[in-house]
A and B are shown apart, each in its own frame.
Chain A
Amino acid sequence: MIKQKFLALFLILGMHGTVLAQPLTIGYSDWPGWVAWEVAIEKGWFEKSNVDVKFEWFDYVASMDAYAAGQLDAVCMTNGDALVTGATARRSVMALINDFSNGNDMVVAVPGIDDIEQLRGRNVGVEVGFVGHLLLLQALEEAGLSEDDVNLMNVPTNETPMVLASGQVDAVVAWQPNSSQSLKMVPGATAIYSSADVPGLIYDTLAIAPESLDAFPEKWAKVFQIWYRVVEFINDPETRGEAIEIMASRVGVEPQEYSKLMQGTKFLSQSEARERFAATNDLNSLQGSTELANRFNLKYQVYSESQAIEDYMSAVLYEGQ
C-alpha cells in the first residue's frame, strides 16, 4: 500500500521531467536578429522542410544558462558571450551569423555633452564586463581617452534609463530597448556614440554545440537554409511588414515601435555573412571581433584563460551550400 503510494508520487514527479530530447532544441531571446526566427516558426517552415527543431523562448541570460547546463543543442548569443559561456561552462561553435548591431547599442548622454571627449571626468553608468562596456572602451579609445579618464558606475543594463533620468550619471551605455528608453526619458539626451560607429563590434550568432553539429550535419544545414529564407522575407519590401508584425507580437510591442529597433540591426545575407568568416584582424570579420572580445574578457577577468578563437567558429554550413 505504502509502496504503491510512493510509486504514484514518483510517477507524478516524473511527469514534470523532460523526455530525452529528440528534436534539436534551440534557445532564442529578445534581440531583433534572433526574434526573426519567429517568422519561420510562425510560417511553419520547419515542419514543411521536415526538420525536427524546437525553439525555446528565454530571457537572454537564462538561455545561456540552459545551454551551459546541457539542456539545449544551440543558443542565440553574441560572439563575446559565446566565449564567456565556453570559458566558464560549455563551448559552442558559431556556425551562423544572424546580424551585427548597427546602432542599437548606444552611449546615451545628457544634454550638454555632445561627444565622447566631453565625458572626461564624468560619471558613466554601464554594466561592467558586458558588451556595453566593450562599446564604451572602443568609443573612449577612438577619442584618445582611456577608462581612467571617466568614472565608471556599475549599473544593470535594464536599469540604465532610470539611472540616467535620476541625474546621478552623465551618460549610460545600453542596448535596445533600454537605449531608446534612455533617450525618451531624458529630454534632450542624445546618442553620442553607437554600434553604428563600430559595425562588427558585436556579432549575433547561432552558437551550436560542437557534438550536435557533428552528429546532425543535414539537420543543421536545413536550419541554415531556413534562416536565409527568413532574411529574404525580412529584406523583401513586400513581406517586411508581415515579418515585423510577427516579430513585434513575439516580444509584445506594437509593430511601428518594433520597426525602429530593426533599423539598428544589420541582417546579413548569406554571401555577406560568408565573407565575415574570412580571417582578418579588424571588426569586419567574426574572428577579428571575437579576438577583441577575448582580450576584453581577459582584461576584466571575466575568465582567466585566453580562448582559442578558431575553436569557436566554423563556416561549415556556408561551405556546404
Chain B
Amino acid sequence: MKHSGLIAASFALPLLIWVAVSYVPGLWQPYTLITDPGGVSFYRVDMLVANEQFASQLESARSKGLPLPSGIRSNPVYLPAPHDVTRALYTSFTTPPARRSEVWFHQSIGHSVSIIFWGFLYSCLLGVPIGVLCGAYGPVSRLFEPFVEFARYFPAPAFGALAVAILGIHDAPKIAIIFIGTFFQMILVVANTTRRLDNGFIEAAQTLGANRVRQLLQVTIPGILPDLYKDLRILLGWAWTYLIVAELIGTSSGITWFITQQARYKNFDMVFAALIILGVIGLLSDLILERLGRRLFPWQRQNDGVR
C-alpha cells in the first residue's frame, strides 16, 4: 500500500485540528467554565460564560472588593473534547439497559442497520430491473424516466405522515422512506450505466443473431455488472443519509432516537460518539463491499478506485 501514509493523514488531519482546538489554550475556547462563582450573584458552578463577560465581571468584582470568580477556558457545548467523546463511546456500549423495555446500545444500532438493509433491498429489487430496462430499451426509458426525473425531487420526509397512515407506526414507514429516498435515483443511475455499455458488444450480438432477450441477459447485464455493483455501493451511502429522517417517523427508535434525544439535553459528547459510530459502520461496510467487488470482478481491477 504505497498510499497508506496519505490515507492515515486524511484521518489524522481533522483529528489533529479537533485536538488542537480542544486542548491548546487560547487557540479558540471563547467561553469560560465557572469553577467558583466568587461574588458574582448569578454565576453558578459549571456555567459557561463568554470570555469578555467573565473579564468584565472579574474586573467589577475586583473593584468592589468582592471575592473573585474563577473559571477555566472552554469551548461551546456543541464541540466536546476528544477524551469526552471517547469516554461517551465506551460508556454507551457498556451501560446495560436500565429498564425492562430498554435495549442495549448495539441493539439500537442493529435496528438502524436493519432499516437500511430492508429499505435498500426493496429499492434494489424494483429499481435495478427498471433501470436496466430503461437503459436497454428506448421506449421503456421514455415511459418511465420523465416521471422519475420529476419524482426524484420529492423530499422523502414529506411522505412520512402518509407512510405512517398506510404502514403503521413501527419499522414499515421508516423502510418506506429509505426506499423512496433511493429508488428514483437508482433508476436513473442504473439506466445511465446501462446506456454507457460499449455499443460494439450489442452490435456483435445482433450480428450473431441474438434476439432481444438474449442480448439483455447474455450481453447487457453481464457487461454492466461491475459498474452496476459500483453504483449500488454509492447508492447505499445515499440510503444512509436518509436514516435520520426515516427514523424520526413513527415510534422513536434506533440510533436516531439516541442522537436527537442526547442533542436535546445538550449531551454532545454522546452525539459525537454516535456520529463516529455511523461513520465507522458506513466506511467499513463500503470497504468490505469494495474488496468483495475486486474478488467478483477481477478484470475491472485496473480502472477501479482511486489511483
Contacts and interface: CB of A to CB of B under 8 A. Distances in A.
B99 A246 contact: yes
A177 B168 contact: no
A210 to B, nearest CB: 19
Contact of B43 (A18, A42, A187): A187
Nearest to A65: B161
A249 interface: yes
B249 interface: yes
Interface stretch (A67-75, A113-121, A140-148, A271-279): A67-75
Contact of B252 (A59, A65, A70, A257): A59
Given A187-B50, A249-B98, A13 B42 contact: no
A117 B160 CA distance: 43
Interface string B118-145: 1000100100000000000000000000
Given A13-B122, A187-B42, A252-B258, A18 B250 contact: no
Given A16-B118, A59-B252, A9 B42 contact: no
A71 B166 CA distance: 9
A6 to B, nearest CB: 11
Contacts of A17: 167-168, 172
Given A71-B169, A184-B47, A56 B99 contact: no
Contact of B251 (A9, A58, A185): A58
A190 to B, nearest CB: 8
Contacts of A245: 98
Contacts of A71: 164-165, 168-169
Given A56-B169, A69-B161, A184-B47, 4 more contacts: A178-B264, A185-B48, A187-B53, A250-B99
Interface of B: 42-43, 47-50, 53, 77, 98-102, 118, 122, 125, 160-161, 164-165, 167-172, 175, 248-252, 257-258, 260-262, 264-267
29 contacts: A9-B125, A13-B122, A16-B171, A17-B172, A30-B261, A41-B100, A42-B99, A56-B251, A57-B251, A57-B252, A57-B257, A58-B169, A58-B250, A58-B251, A59-B252, A59-B260, A62-B249, A65-B160, A70-B165, A71-B168, A161-B266, A181-B266, A184-B48, A185-B77, A249-B98, A250-B99, A251-B261, A252-B261, A253-B267
